[in-house]
Amino acid sequence: MPNWQQIETDLLRVLTRDSSYWRLLKKTHNGDGVRLQVQKMIERARGRPESPPFRDPVKVDELNASQGPFYRGTSLRSGPYGHWWIEEKSMQQWADASANLPRAQCQQKVLEFVEARMAVDKNWSYDRRNLNNRVVRDGILEIVKLVLPPGKRLPVISGPAGHQQYASGEHPHAKSLSNVVWIGGGKQIFVALTALDESHWIEPVPRSSSHWPFS
């Protein structure tokens, strides 16, 4: 399966100010030189050729406050912080598609859209902390929001999510469903956030909010 820790390390390296990202973006204006560099890193880090984190086209760009907010799903195992985010446009499409369902079902359907369109491996959200070694929670549970402050610019890599295995690793269905995959295809954004950024800019979206999943 893909080595996601290595993927994130390599993608962060190309997006930091110490790398060639900023120089290349300034020279090429459209980021083509960085895009090729990112694709090489993805090829090296993704683990299996058949499970890339991105499909083409992969784009390297910058985010600013006017383009947000951005969203991500969380689980007991993963928590709210991370580098992979979703545009508000996508969340709106999934919320609209589920709007005619009762509230609880609508919320669950939106979370399932996030999981399927972002091709989230079930092992990422699998939690087995009880004494009987049974699944306590399996799947995305909540939504959090990333709000950039005015004037802030961040380098990002974006593209359609590549297909991924439905469940891998220690998930109880990893072997029985080893040939089942998420198709993916939703636009995902890899953001070069620091721990300080995360603690200040990421907010929970309570399920009790009348505007859920937005605020």
Alpha-carbon span 205 to 215, nearest angstrom: 5
Alpha-carbon span 189 to 202, nearest angstrom: 15
pTM for this one? 0.78
* Strand 142-146 with 59-64, pairing: unpaired
Look at the chain and count its residues. 215
**Residue spans of the chain under pLDDT 50:** 18, 28-29, 45-47, 131
- Name the residue with tokens 């009348």: 210
Q: E strand or H helix at 74, and its extent?
A: strand 70-74
- Reading the block at residue 71, the tokens are 């969203």
Q: What pLDDT sits at residue 82? A: 84
Q: What pLDDT sits at residue 46? A: 46
Alpha-carbon span 125 to 72, nearest angstrom: 13
Query: CB-based contacts of 89: which residues, under 8 Å, 6+ apart?
Result: none
Amino acid at 168: S
Amino acid at 37: Q
Sign of CA dihedral 197, 4, 188, 37: positive
